[in-house]
Amino acid sequence: MADRKTRIVMKFGGTSVADLDRIRNVAARVKREVAAGNEVAVVVSAMAGVTNQLVKYCQDLSPLHDQREYDAVVATGEQVTSGLTAIALQEIGVSARSYQGWQIPLRTDDQHGKARIESVDGATLIAAMQASIVPVVAGFQGVGPDDRVATLGRGGSDTSAVALAAALKADRCDIYTDVDGIYTTDPRVVPKARKIARVAYEEMLELASVGAKVLQTRSVELAMKMRVRVQVLSSFASDNILGGDLPGSLVVDEDEIVEQEIVSGIAYSRDEAKITVRHIPDRPGVAAAIFGPLSAAGVNVDMIVQNIGADTSSTDLTFTIGKTDLPRAKAVLGEHQEKIGFAELVADADVAKISVVGVGMRSHAGVANTMFTALAAKGINIQVISTSEIKVSVLIGADYTELAVRALHTAYGLDAA
Ligand code: ADP
Ligand code: ASP
Ligand code: MG
């Protein structure tokens, strides 16, 4: 049997394709991998800022816009960069062509705006690569069961890349971005953050799910399930190095990690909003009456706390949802006010969720208490708390985000020397 070439999926995020010079830089990187004898498929995001602008257009026209039309709008950012990147490659002598989600096809479920990938047909792209054509795939998009374009949720190009890597049986999935790896926390917030050379799938999954945007949560979920080797690399690193030699971060199995910290990372998210439903009757079925309609409307609920009211007949329920779902959630709860029987709904979008994550928490006590003590020392009030086996999260006022992340990074001994 002839030796199979090393097959690599190279994904480039928004800042890596932010302008024509950067697209030329991407093309040069791709050309180097091809020249080294590898088979390459490329996945691109929209130019930095473009998706935000497109989302805003939809929101400004209508806060409760049709999600299928939202997808038709926001998927265009990636169509532009896939074509431009193919042109840039052709310009330096590399055969290339762009592919939109429907042309592969990459099929999704019907959850427009945050669709999940259901299947990816690798045949077309494999045939292209074997004919020495570099496929440049528009990330973030697929085609739904209604044959309409569907997007994969913000940051979804990472998931496109991992899904393609699985479908193409790629040897590696290289995620090129504007930082040179996965850090103990966002290096833009904490300059003393340390790069983690190897991070366990499970930890990265938890970190991503609580806000570490360096990888979209679903991309990590999929990588873990399909055993895809994911590397996070800088697209701005010195020019002549191949992806295999770049000093990025690798997402691996827990047992591939020799020394495990108790807390491996800290993440924050300003993407949630808090809703308090006041004076609801304290009886069975009320939580179901609130969360049932929200779930039916596709609104995901994250943290939940039920307070004991001053008198025993009524209570308050506080929970968090994605900020972008706030108009929808308010509308749904408004419609059901009588049935639920609440007196008042208070929404607060000025909150941040701060989380500490580490598999070492399973076997060490006191992790949560270190968090509460460090926040108290800075005078930061905790509004809601939630925990899992390897994570503790708190909701605080958004103004305290940086202060809290820095204080916790120091408190858990994560600061670089
Ligand atoms: P791209 O457009 O390339 O997908 P993103 O902005 O989605 O890039 O993700 C990269 C950003 O993730 C970095 O610029 C950094 O600010 C942020 N980030 C948050 N948490 C982390 C972390 N733990 N390690 C590295 N980067 C992080
Ligand atoms: N362009 C999309 C976004 O900004 C997808 C991505 O960048 O991964 O969310
Ligand atoms: Mg991203």
The CA distance from 23 to 207, in Å, is 29
Q: Please provide residue 288's backbone torsions phi and psi, each rounded to the nearest 5 degrees.
A: -65, -35
Residues 6+ apart with CB under 8 A from 222: 117, 159, 162, 163, 166, 228
**With 90 as the cut, is the pLDDT of residue 271 above it?**
yes
Q: Are residues 286 and 188 in the same domain?
A: no
Question: What is the domain count for the chain?
Answer: 2
Q: Which of 203, 224, 255 is the last residue in one of the domains?
A: 255
Question: Which pLDDT band holds residue 1 (cuts at 50, 70, 90)?
Answer: very low
Q: Are residues 245 and 385 in the same domain?
A: no
Q: Which of 255, 281, 311 is the last residue in one of the domains?
A: 255
Q: Would residue 404 count as lying in a domain?
A: yes
pLDDT digits (tens, 9 = 90+) for 162-197: 999 999 999 999 999 999 999 999 999 999 999 999
Residue 357: domain span: 266-411
pLDDT of res. 255: 82
Q: Please provide residue 325's backbone torsions phi and psi, each rounded to the nearest 5 degrees.
A: -90, 0
Ligand nearest to the CA of 156: 2
Q: Are residues 143 and 64 in the same domain?
A: yes
Q: Average per-residue pLDDT in the chain? A: 94
Ligand 2 atom 4 nearest Cα: 51
Ligand 1 atom 4 nearest Cα: 13
The CA 224 to ligand 1 mean position distance, Å, reads 20
Q: Are residues 66 and 40 in the same domain?
A: yes
pTM exceeds 0.75: yes
* Average pLDDT of the segment spanning 241-256: 86
Q: Would residue 260 count as lying in a domain?
A: no
Ligand nearest to the CA of 16: 1
Q: Are residues 272 and 248 in the same domain?
A: no
Residues 6+ apart with CB under 8 A from 86: 96, 97, 98, 134, 136
Q: Are residues 206 and 279 in the same domain?
A: no
Residues with beta carbon inside 6 Å of ligand 2? 13-14, 45-46, 51, 77, 139-140, 154-158
Q: Please provide residue 136's backbone torsions phi and psi, each rounded to the nearest 5 degrees.
A: -115, 110
> CB 304: neighbour CB atoms within 10 A?
14
Q: Which two tokens stand for residue 5?
A: 């070439």
Q: Would residue 181 count as lying in a domain?
A: yes
Q: Give the residue from 160, 147, 124, 126 showing the smallest Cα distance to 45.
A: 160
Q: Which two tokens stand for residue 414?
A: 């994560």
The CA 202 to ligand 2 mean position distance, Å, reads 23
Q: Give the residue from 265, 291, 224 showing the smallest Cα distance to 392.
A: 265
Q: Would residue 322 count as lying in a domain?
A: yes
Q: Give the residue from 200, 245, 235 showing the smallest Cα distance to 42.
A: 235
Task: Report the atom number in ligand 1 closest to the C-alpha of 182.
Answer: 24
User: Which residue has better confidence, 122 or 417?
Assistant: 122
Q: Where are the alpha helices (DSSP H) in 145-285?
A: 157-167, 201-209, 217-226
The CA 207 to ligand 2 mean position distance, Å, reads 18
Given a contact cutoff of 8 angstroms between Cβ atoms, the answer to whether 231 and 171 are in contact is no
Q: Are residues 138 and 110 in the same domain?
A: yes
Region of poorest pLDDT, from 41-45, 250-254, 381-385, 395-399: 250-254
The CA distance from 92 to 31, in Å, is 8
The CA 223 to ligand 1 mean position distance, Å, reads 18
pLDDT digits (tens, 9 = 90+) for 342-396: 999 999 999 999 999 998 888 888 889 999 999 999 999 999 999 999 999 999 9
> CB 111: neighbour CB atoms within 10 A?
15
Residue 348 has, within 13 A of its CA and on its CB side, a CA count of 18
The CA 247 to ligand 2 mean position distance, Å, reads 24
Residue 384 is part of a domain; what is its CATH number?
Answer: 3.30.2130.10
How many residues comprise the chain? 417
Name the residue of 180, 214, 355 to mutate for ligand 1: max ligand atoms within 8 A of Cβ.
214
The CA distance from 278 to 281, in Å, is 9
Q: Are residues 181 and 53 in the same domain?
A: yes
The CA 157 to ligand 3 mean position distance, Å, reads 7
Q: Are residues 174 and 58 in the same domain?
A: yes
Name the residue of 50, 162, 186, 218 to mutate for ligand 1: max ligand atoms within 8 A of Cβ.
186
The CA distance from 328 to 64, in Å, is 6
Q: Are residues 111 and 131 in the same domain?
A: yes
Q: Would residue 416 count as lying in a domain?
A: no
Residues 6+ apart with CB under 8 A from 3: none
**With 90 as the cut, is the pLDDT of residue 3 above it?**
no
Question: Which pLDDT band holds residue 258 (cuts at 50, 70, 90)?
Answer: confident
Q: Are residues 119 and 198 in the same domain?
A: yes
The CA 22 to ligand 1 mean position distance, Å, reads 18
Q: Would residue 1 count as lying in a domain?
A: no
Interstrand relation of 134-138 and 96-99 (parallel, antiparallel or unpaired): parallel
Q: Are residues 143 and 50 in the same domain?
A: yes
Ligand 1 atom 27 nearest Cα: 186
Q: Would residue 2 count as lying in a domain?
A: no
Residue 77 is part of a domain; what is its CATH number?
Answer: 3.40.1160.10
Residue 140 has, within 13 A of its CA and on its CB side, a CA count of 26
Q: Which of 255, 289, 317 is the last residue in one of the domains?
A: 255
Residues with beta carbon inside 6 Å of ligand 1? 13-16, 45, 155, 177-179, 182-183, 185-188, 212-214, 265
